[in-house]
Amino acid sequence: MKEKIIEIVDLTKTFTTKDGEIKALDNINLTIHKGDIFGIIGMSGAGKSTLVRCINFLEVPTEGTVIVDNKNLATLNNKRLRELRRTMGMIFQQFNLLMQKTVIENICFPLEISGVSKSDSKIRAKELLELVGLKDKENAYPSQLSGGQKQRVAIARALSTNPKVLLCDEATSALDPNTTRSILELLKDINKTLNITIVIITHEMAVIEEICSHVAIIDESKIAETGRVQDIFTHPKTAPAQRLVYPQGTRVEEYLSKRCCRIVFDGSSSYDPVISQMILACKTPINILFADMKDIEGKAFGQMVIQLPSDEVLADKVVRYLHSRNLAVEEVDNYVE
């Protein structure tokens, strides 16, 4: 069992406005373990950005407890809270670089504030620029960089104080798909090589599937479902999770018109020619109505909806064959494309 790095217990956050109180977070319970890449996903306004700000106490919860690295943040004085925050780097959607400073000066800035000498700060900054693939950009200004390069600088700056946790609040939302993939690959490498726990806040399921080992789905200020990404992808239990996973955003049963089944490939079986072998073994054709493959934690995962033969005996034979291959199979009805 991995050691806990972040534990949130019964957390509620309420804001007071001129129109009354707004509950941004409602009874949140969450555990994140050391070394995980943990995703928090939800639609705009669900409360996920407020949650990440509660994790480092930039927002103080109205109720509940936040424990980071075995420290209850509510019990820390201002000095100790600042010290703990230095163990939690943070990157944002809009990069938040200092436009009047060069790349290397941006990275050195938090180190110098912490009392590190300019010479030592520069050595550390050069190491980080090499880590993020920008060692030739140290004297450039942010205005001379692409969006992806700016985010790499922001990541290097967040790593400058050797944090144990990296909080990423919609860090790829302003980037194009190719740049997003490169930033996610960089974060995976950082997690692997530096063993830094990463918390990803996003509204994009593709980001969760690409990088995260675990996920919490937040809906209307509450945690709807939490668990390993592959488990939630295979068997989403709640309506918010099903909207993220199932074709067309809704559980497939609502779209079916004939006897069909949904097959889930779990990372090992997806590379096997299961469907062609099934056709040969059962001596019957099938119709593929939907198929989708995804890369989760470096493994191929996918789902497929097939139309079963009209002959009930053959249809049962197909289902038994799929079960014999240790695939997750659920029968569904009334599918239409």
Say yes or no: 74 and 148 in one domain: yes
Other residues' Cβ atoms within 10 Å of the Cβ of residue 212 = 25
Is residue 59 one of the residues assigned to a domain?
yes
Backbone angles phi, psi at 47, to 5 degrees: 115, 5
The whole domain housing 72 covers: 4-244
pLDDT for the residue 276? 82
Burial class (CB in 10 A: 0-12, 13-18, 19+), 97: buried
Distance CA 209, CA 211 (A): 6
Would you say 255 and 247 are in contact if contact means Cβ atoms under 8 Å apart? yes
Query: In 3D, which of 216, 215, 156 has the Cα closest to residue 190?
Result: 156
Count up the domains in the chain and report the number. Answer: 2
- 255 in the same domain as 239: no
Residue type, 85: R
Residues 51 and 161 in one domain: yes
* Residue 294: CATH number of its domain: 3.30.70.260
Any domain includes 271 = yes
pLDDT along the chain (337 residues), means of 10: 90 89 92 94 85 91 94 93 90 86 92 87 92 90 91 92 91 84 91 93 86 92 90 84 67 52 72 78 82 69 82 84 84 60
Domain boundary among 225, 244, 263: 244
Q: Are strands 222-228 and 287-296 parallel, antiparallel or unpaired?
A: unpaired
Helix (H) or strand (E) holding 239: helix 239-245
Q: Which of 244, 259, 279 is the last residue of a domain?
A: 244
Residues 131 and 65 in one domain: yes
Sign of CA dihedral 227, 232, 235, 236: positive
User: Contact at 8 Å (CB) between 104 and 112?
Assistant: no
Residues 94 and 198 in one domain: yes
**Full-model pTM:** 0.75
* 308 and 173 inside one domain: no
Same domain, 196 and 327: no
Token pair recorded at residue 267: 């990372």
CA dist 239 and 15 (Å) reads: 27
| Domain assignment of residue 192, yes or no | yes
State which of 209, 227, 244 marks the end of a domain: 244
* Residue linked to tokens 């420290």: 71
C-alpha distances in angstroms, 218 versus 25, 46, 195, 228, 258? 9, 6, 26, 15, 34
- 164 and 287, same domain (yes or no): no
Asked if residue 291 belongs to a domain, the reply is yes
The identity of residue 278, as a single letter, is: M
Q: Are residues 267 and 134 part of one domain? A: no
My answer on whether 281 and 319 are in the same domain is: yes
Max intra-chain CA distance, the chain: 78
Q: Are residues 142 and 272 in the same domain?
A: no
Q: Is residue 337 part of a domain?
A: no
Q: What is the CATH number of the domain that holds 61?
A: 3.40.50.300
Collapsed DSSP state (helix, strand, coil) of residue 326: coil
Q: Decide if 193 is inside a domain.
A: yes
Q: Would 82 be classed as within a structural domain?
A: yes
What pLDDT was estimated at residue 181? 87
Please tell me whether residues 290 and 231 are part of one structural domain: no
Instruction: Report the pLDDT value the prediction gives residue 252, as an integer from 0 to 100.
Output: 43
